[in-house]
Structure 1
Amino acid sequence: MKCSCCFITTFLMYGWAVNAQVDSLTPSLKDINLEEIVITSQIDPQSLNKSVNNIRVISKEMIKNLGAVTLSEVLNQTINITVTPNSSTGASTVSMFGLNAAYFKILVDNVPLVNENGLGNNTDLSQISLNDVEQIEIIEGAMGVTHGANAVSGILNIITKKSAKNTWQLQLTSQEETIGSEYKLFSQGKHIQSFKASHNVNEHWFVSLGADRIDFQGYLGGQLGSNYSFNDGKRGYKWSPSQQLQPHALISYTKNNLRLFYKFEFFDKAIDVFYPTVHSTYNETLGTYKYSKDERYFTDRWYQHFNATGKIFNGLQFNLSTSYQVQKRAIETFNYNITYDFERDNVKKVDQSMHVLYTTGTFSDFFKNNQLLNLQIGYELVNSKGFSIVDAELNSKKDINKTINNYDFFSIADISINNRFSIRPGLRYSFQSLFNNQYSYTLGGKYLFEKGYEMRAAVGKSYRTPNFQELYFRNIFDGHYFVGNENLIPETSSSFETSLKKTTTFYTSLLSNQILFSINDIKNRITSAYVGDMGATPMYQNINISKYRSINLSTTNQYKYKDFNLALNGSFVWVSQLIDNGSFKTSDAYLFTYSLGGNVSYFIPKWNTTFATYYKFTSEMPSWEVGSKQYVISKLGSYSWLDASLRKGFWNHQFETTIGVRNILNVGDVNRSRINEGGGHSVASNILLAYGRSYFLKLTYNLNFN
């Protein structure tokens, strides 16, 4: 580990030293793209180096090199981001700077993605297919002005493909993957198929149609599957099987300055949960047989997005989107007859759902031919209808149906003081139906020094509104009382960020180094707190009581030479949390964690082959955990993630094959230790983060013709 730290420090120092020496060299970089275009949070699409925001781009080449099928497989290799999977539900969520997925917003084509508890946050990464993605853009830090509530730690915007170069394009993909060491063609492993057909009808109309399917057969990991009939704890899976299907369609129209598109997507996923307890019984028809009480979870999502961009009124630019999304989760309980292999007593019901009507629009280019000022004004309207079945007193259930609306208006401006210095102020005001009205502001700036140095800085204020679960959740049964709180108020956060970047080009090489420092303070943070007793049962309720501060220092370093790419990155995070649950509270001591990452790829034109390797180390992660007498520190052990692949094209890229290995270092169960309140010794348990080393083979066939 010391070697890794020394290596990344040496690389950074070497990069700045080389930067100081090579600026006199004449650039000659026809093969190096310095104009990577980004659109997230921009008034107009522009090159990455002109953006006031710090934006990281995950290209489709990286997605291909990783053989990534879902978003979680890409973010596993992204610095500053931690992916947390759940082996029972199959869900994977993201955290950044110690803040969970409630603070990080995920969008598709600038529209937040719905889930059962809200819009944009707590998104299950395993539900997002990457087959139709052009690139992914990530902005760290508070983005409340441009993206509203809950964009506190950052945003991720998935840009999908909306055009094709040829009249007809057909793509067929098949991918086979082991689950650890487990694989059989039909009964074990992961089996992925995707299909997409695109057609330029004429110079104005374009249509595409496709579907993605993922058949995950589950990870046994020493368990003995659903048909095992002994009651010794060996029945079932360590990672539950799931099947998901995702058809999608797009139609677009382009003429002059007008562009319209309509996108439709349906997502369906089923997860089978087989419990270890086995029961024996008898009836006259079947005789003696064994059965288990199992469950199946269904998730359905309907996604519709209509977008219009163009110019009106003497060059005024507009961009309007309207989206209607629905996500539902249903639970099916059943008795599985293990002896005779059939189900009975099936009962299925929807226990959570969210219906969202979302519309947003921006208007810009008010001052035609003005190179000094570009103003954008915008709006966002959200109508959310949530449903959940929750616990009530006396072991009963009740339905919760609630509607939450917000109507937001915002404005940002890009002001060029001169050709080196620009600032970006912004303000958003949100009219809330359930809470007091909220506001966000930001002030960012960029200064371009001589010799390729770029400095950026920003201050801002954002807010997070309580989600549906925090407001209305109720878990009440014998000895347990945990409930939400309809009187919660939004959390507020203030942030500061600054960065220094140096990009140097010399001959056919590019060297880029960046250091970023940020601070984020959160007030009125929501915590489950002790509020009294109901008989002998302690009652806990969500209240606004905690404080949070994170300090982040990160560095990204990239070197390109012709077809060779090397990147080394590091992130160091200090988190202070003051949590008070009414009985006892934490100290405000800073807990430290860090991660180091890097990747290297090399393309051999003669062979039409790319070799790529990605590595990420995550240090021990401490966090506060409530105990019986006090808060104690729990630590998740450190682990390393290493992926490698070889990708080769045949017949002028008409056929492409990728072979690779995920999780080469065989991460599975990671130790979680906790201080014993009685004697101060460490108490250990294991958290299943992955299912070990796996191998994949991906075959893609592209048929293009005019």
Structure 2
Amino acid sequence: MRISIRAILPAFILLYTGVKAQETQHDTIFTEMDELVVTGQIEPQSIKKSVFNVQVITEEDIKRQAANNMADVLNQYLNITVQPSSGEGRSTVSMFGLDGQYLKILVDNVPLVSDTGLGNNIDLTQINLDDIQQIEIIEGSMGVTHGANAVSGIINIITKKSTRNKWEITATVQEESVGDEYAPLYDEGRHIQSLRIAHSINKNWFVAVGGNRNDFEGYKGEFGGKEFTNNPNDPGQLRGYSWQPKEQYFGNALVRYQKNNTRIFYKFDYFDEKIDSYNRIVNNERQTDGRELRYSNDRRYFTNKLYNHLNAVGKLLGLDYNASVSYQKQQRDVEDFRYYIQLDAERGNEKEPYQETEVLYSTGTLSNFFKTGKADLQLGYEFVNTNGYSSSLSGNFNGEDQEAVNLKKRLENYDFFTAAEIKVTDKFSVRPGFRYSFQSKFEDQWAASMGLRQILSNGFEARLSYGRSYRTPNYDELYTYFVDVNHNVQGNPDLTPESGHSVEGSIKKFTYFESGLHMKNTLGANYNTVDDRIEDVIVAFNPQLTTRYININSYKRWTVTTTHDVMYKNLKAKAGVSVMGISRAIDSGLAQSDDDFLVNYQFNANVAYNVPKWNTLFSVYYKHNGKVKQYIQENTLDNPEFVLSEVESFGLMDASVRKDFFKNKLSLTVGARNLLDVVSIRSSQATGGDAHSAGTTNILMGYGRSYFMKLTYNLNFN
């Protein structure tokens, strides 16, 4: 494995900047690295006491990046890859080489609704950041505490539920270019406005409301935009956008009551999104008066989401309880119309339902069964009722009559789990867990885990854990049905859930010096397998190409990661390297893949330095994604075979400067994303493992270097 100088050079620049910064520091602004975490714990506790490996992204980290959405935040973290889709305007996330179906995303421990279910394949651009307190990332199997599809890990977003002042009012305006395209307030670029008001009525009651508008005008790139009529002298220049325009509105409200040991909150979120999809084909239509008009058949997507969450925490008969009930609904409609370019007019508008998902969800735990402090036991439940609908516009589905029809299905599961945390000694603790899931569609499933934590001398900590989890098939895998003269794509209602196993170990070293220097060094390794993995593979060629989702894949993955954190007065820096090997063995009956481990790596680093005299914070982030290799099935060959595909390496660098004015009432952040100007990366296929290329394609990863300016007004008073 070769690591290029171009990949490492930015890291040395970051580290050198950090070293030089130490020469002039005077005051301390950064806090202790030992954050409080709640995800997967029997009770909230520090990272040091957690049996799991946890990463915490703080509110301050989000502010440093001036992030628009979760995709901007997660882009810079190891073992996480954000996968954008320019056509749909979505961004999903994969962890440890497993896509978004194996990772669960939650808000306050409640999984978010998505197109295909609950908690998985979440569009990161649809998550508002205005009321986030911190983001907790737990790596590895979390099937015991969080159920189906938490195979590679979970991301839990913790929202704000209190304030330090009686009133806190925050208003923000942000302007951002999209690549080299920008016009103030409209037409080009990204334009964001937000307002949040939080009020502590008294010591018991707290309320907060907020709203956000995110207007993304799209990225034309090599295309001509909405009003372009195509140039007959240049057939390579087409109408439309590389990244489709979209406009989003977020609204949220929270009411919290707290007295003694009882806390109750209700949280409501509303989301509205419009995506304009412009057809690249321009047609001619002759009018009765002899005029010839240019038009395109365009489409518009509308998405609405409702999120309701009622949570209660307190004591019952001497036990601690924590219970949540949530109702969520996502509805997507599609509007087809004919757009006449010269007239700037739409005709023949037809709006129809596209997709809908309703989820009734409840989870709860009882704990604190033992009062000795040496052990604790947690008993819990999780009930999920998902009612999904997809029209034939979003894809063809296999109905009861085996014909392509609209799909309406209900999936339910009723789970019960238990976990214990036992302090064998003051320095050694054990955490076993078990879950059993009663399924309406599939055979009953189970998950198990065992975690060990040992405090060693000289600031060392060791952790070792095992977890078994499972993933249930989604709607597309179960019910897809598409047939034409050349293709036959079939879902499989007889699919069985996948099962995953993971083993993880890590050693951490915490060092504190009298000078104020704090260091945390971590070395971790894990091994993960997924059995009966679902793949869409070619199963026949005659009389047409036939693909089908079947349980045939064996997936194995190992990862070694090392990270290093430094905190000294006004300086905070972090660097890490991850090396990963992935093996996928597939046998469709017509073709078999190689089961070799294909190795790739990631490197990241970030530095923040505060200048107290200027009240200014400088931040730089860099992440290098190494070359990715995998075997894919070649669909164009008469005799299908698996060929080696390579996606080239690329790096992402962001930088920002934030300055506070008027006793921190006004904050200005300016900076740039994607400083290395990444737009697309090359994917190539080498036939039969040969060195020569059998074909290349470009994968859109971004829209180039962008610049932003964010102005925030904070009004706090008692």
Class of the TM-score when normalised by the shorter of the 2 chains: over 0.9
How far does residue 670 in structure 1 lie from its aligned partner after superposition? 0.7
Contact kept? 1:259, 1:310, Cα under 8 Å:
yes
Shift in Å, 1:676: 4.3
How far 1:10 sits from its partner (Å)? 11
How many residues end up aligned between the 2 structures?
687
Residue 344 (structure 2) aligned to one of 316, 341, 346: 341
The 1:639/1:30 distance shift into structure 2, 3 A limit, reads: closer
Quote the Cα distance in structure 1 between the aligned partners of 2:689 and 2:586: 21
How far apart, CA to CA, are the structure 2 residues paired with 1:210 and 1:61? 19
- Given candidates 289, 299, 304, the residue that maps to 1:300 is 304
8 Å CA contact 1:552–1:573 kept in 2: the answer is yes
Q: Which amino acid aligns with 2:522?
A: Q
Does the alignment pair 1:245 with 2:242?
no
Task: Tell me what 1:25 maps to.
Answer: none
Match of 1:378 in 2: 380
Question: Residue 539 of structure 2 contacts residue 548 of structure 2 at CA under 8 Å; is this kept in 1?
Answer: yes
Cα distance in 1 for partners of 2:42, 2:241 equals 49
TM-score normalized with structure 1 length:
0.94
Aligned-residue offset at 1:288: 1.8
Q: Secondary structure at the match of 2:145?
A: helix
- Secondary structure of the equivalent of 1:386? strand
Matched, 1:327 2:326: no
Q: Which residue of 2 aligns with 1:687?
A: 699
1:519-558 correspondence to structure 2 within 5 Å:
519-532=527-540, 536-558=543-565
**Preserved contact between residue 244 and residue 268 of structure 1 (Cα < 8 Å):** yes
Q: What CA deviation, in whole Å up to 9, does each residue of 1:139-184 have, x standing for no partner?
A: 1110000100000011000001111122221110010000011100
Letter in 2 for 1:336: Y
Report percent identity of matched pairs. Answer: 44
- Call closer, same or farther: CA 1:278–1:238 in 2, change over 3 Å: same
3-state secondary structure, aligned to 2:458: helix
> Does the 8 A contact of 1:35 with 1:47 survive in 2?
yes
CA deviations 1:531-551 (Å, max 9, x no partner) are 446x62132211111100000
Task: State whether residues 452 and 503 of structure 1, in contact with CA within 8 Å, keep that contact through their aligned partners in structure 2.
Answer: yes
Kept in 2: contact 1:642–1:664 (CA 8 A): yes
Question: What is the one-letter code of the residue matched to 1:77?
Answer: Q
Deviation at 1:234, TM superposition (A): 1.6
**Contact 1:32 1:510 (8 Å CA) reproduced:** no
Name 1:703's counterpart in structure 2: 715
Cα contact 2:437–2:446 (8 A) shared by 1 = yes
Task: Tell me what 2:25 maps to.
Answer: none
Cα distance in 2, alignment partners of residues 166 and 286 from structure 1: 69
Q: Distance in 2 between matches of 1:678 and 1:514?
A: 36
TM value normalised by structure 2: 0.93
Q: Is residue 161 from structure 1 mapped to residue 160 from structure 2 by the alignment?
A: yes
Aligned to 1:187: 187
Aligned to 1:23: none
Task: Give the C-alpha shift of residue 401 in structure 1.
Answer: 1.0
How many Å apart are 1:4 and its aligned residue? 8.2
User: Are positions 1:667 and 2:678 aligned together?
Assistant: yes
Residue 73 of structure 2 aligns to a residue in which SS?
helix
Aligned AA (1:689): M
| Secondary structure in structure 2 of the residue aligned to 1:63 | helix
Decide whether aligned partners of structure 1 residues 66 and 539 sit closer, same or farther in structure 2, where only a CA change above 3 A counts.
same
- Where does residue 218 of structure 2 map in the other structure? 218
CA deviation digits over 1:56-77, x for unaligned, max 9?
A: 0011111001110100001110
State whether residues 528 and 540 of structure 1, in contact with CA within 8 Å, keep that contact through their aligned partners in structure 2: yes
3-state SS of the aligned residue for 2:285?
A: strand
Residue 35 to residue 587, structure 1, CA distance change in 2 (3 Å): closer
Q: 1:652 aligns to what SS in structure 2?
A: coil
Secondary structure at the aligned position of 1:78 is classed as: coil
Q: Secondary structure at the match of 1:131?
A: coil
User: How far apart, in 1, do the equivalents of 2:376 and 2:446 lie?
Assistant: 22
Which residue of the partner structure matches residue 49 of structure 2? 50
The answer to whether the 8 Å contact 2:104/2:111 transfers is: yes
Q: Secondary structure at the match of 1:102?
A: helix
Question: In 2, are the aligned partners of 1:657 and 1:698 still within 8 Å (CA)?
Answer: yes
Structure 1 Cα separation of the partners of residues 344 and 404 of structure 2: 32
Supply the distance in 2 between the matched residues of 1:52 and 1:592 (Cα, whole angstroms).
28
Query: How has the CA–CA distance of structure 1 residues 60 and 352 changed in structure 2, closer, same or farther, with 3 Å as cutoff?
Result: same
Matched with 1:471 is: 478
Q: How far off is 1:478 after superposition? A: 2.9
5+ residue gaps in structure 2? 14-27
* Match of residue 15 from structure 1: none
Which residue number corresponds to residue 505 of structure 1? Answer: 512
- Once residues 296 and 361 of structure 2 are traced to their aligned partners in structure 1, the CA distance between those partners, rounded to angstroms, is 43
Counterparts of 1:53 and 1:259 in 2: how far apart (Å)? 26
Partner secondary structure for residue 178 of structure 2: coil
Task: Using the TM superposition, give the Cα deviation of residue 32 of structure 1 relative to its aligned residue in structure 2, in angstroms.
Answer: 4.4
Secondary structure in 2 aligned to 1:236?
coil
State the shift of 1:582 in Å: 2.8
Amino acid at match of 1:694: S
| Residue deviations 1:207-250 (CA, integer Å, cap 9, x gap) | 11111111000001121111011263421111110001011111
1:61 equivalent to 2:60? Answer yes
* SS at structure 1 position matched to 2:562: strand
2:663 match: secondary structure: coil
* Alignment CA distance shift 1:280-1:612 (3 Å): same
SS at match of 1:299: strand
Q: Matches of 2:29 and 2:297 in 1, distance apart?
A: 64
Structure 2 residue 474 is the aligned partner of structure 1 residue 482: no
Give the 5 Å matches for 1:40-189. 40-185=39-184, 186-189=186-189
CA drift of 1:284 comes to 2.2
Q: CA RMSD in A?
A: 2.2
Q: CA deviation at 1:31?
A: 6.9
Q: Is 1:395–1:476's contact at 8 Å kept on the other side of the alignment?
A: no
Alpha-carbon deviation of 1:474? 2.1
CA distance in 1, matches of 2:680, 2:135: 30
* CA positional deviation for 1:256: 1.3
CA–CA separation in structure 1 for the residues paired with 2:66 and 2:644: 37
Whole-angstrom distance in 1 between the partners of 2:189 and 2:9 = 37
Preserved CA contact (<8 Å) 1:529 1:581? yes
Partner of residue 273, structure 1 = 277
Q: Which residue of 1 aligns with 2:317?
A: 313
The residue type paired with residue 670 of structure 2 is I
**Structure 1: segments with no counterpart, 5+ residues:** 12-28
Q: Using the alignment, how far apart are the partners of 1:692 and 1:4 within structure 2? A: 18
Provide the residue aligned with 1:400 in structure 2.
407
Tell me, in whole angstroms, the C-alpha distance in 2 between the residues paired with 1:237 and 1:363. Answer: 52
Which residue is equivalent to 1:38? 37
Instruction: Indicate conservation of the 8 Å contact 1:528/1:581, yes or no.
Output: no
One-letter code of the match for 2:323? L
User: What does residue 18 of structure 1 align with?
Assistant: none
